[in-house]
Amino acid sequence: MGRYADRAGRVKALSWIMLAMSVGSLLLGLTPGSATLGLAAPILVVIGRLAQGFAVGAQFALSSVTIYELAPPDKKMFYGSFNMLSLGIAAMLSSGQNCCIHRS
């Protein structure tokens, strides 16, 4: 995806990445259970998750480069740290999601 972004532009590459994530999510949402499809259901789920994983990996690298390139010269590393910081914050927030659910 990096080569494509260098040739076609970062915006087009990020658009393809968003499409890949959307297709993966749609595949996960529309795949019926194994009682309906049998062995094909878990295979479709794995394909959907792989599409999402590749999209996230490509998006992280491409957005990191884009942020770094667009940052002012004296603040490149500061701006570049936002992408990694957002991953850490997301991991902390997602790991604590079950502590606040009240069960009755």
| pLDDT digits 0-9 by tens, 44-83 | 999 999 999 999 888 888 888 888 888 999 999 898 888 8
* Tokens 């260098």 -> residue: 6
**pTM above 0.75?**
no
- CA-to-CA distance for 62 and 17, rounded, in angstroms? 10
Q: Domain total for the chain? A: 1
Residues spanned by the domain of 11: 2-100
Torsion over CA of 53, 35, 39 and 26, rounded to 10 degrees?
A: -30
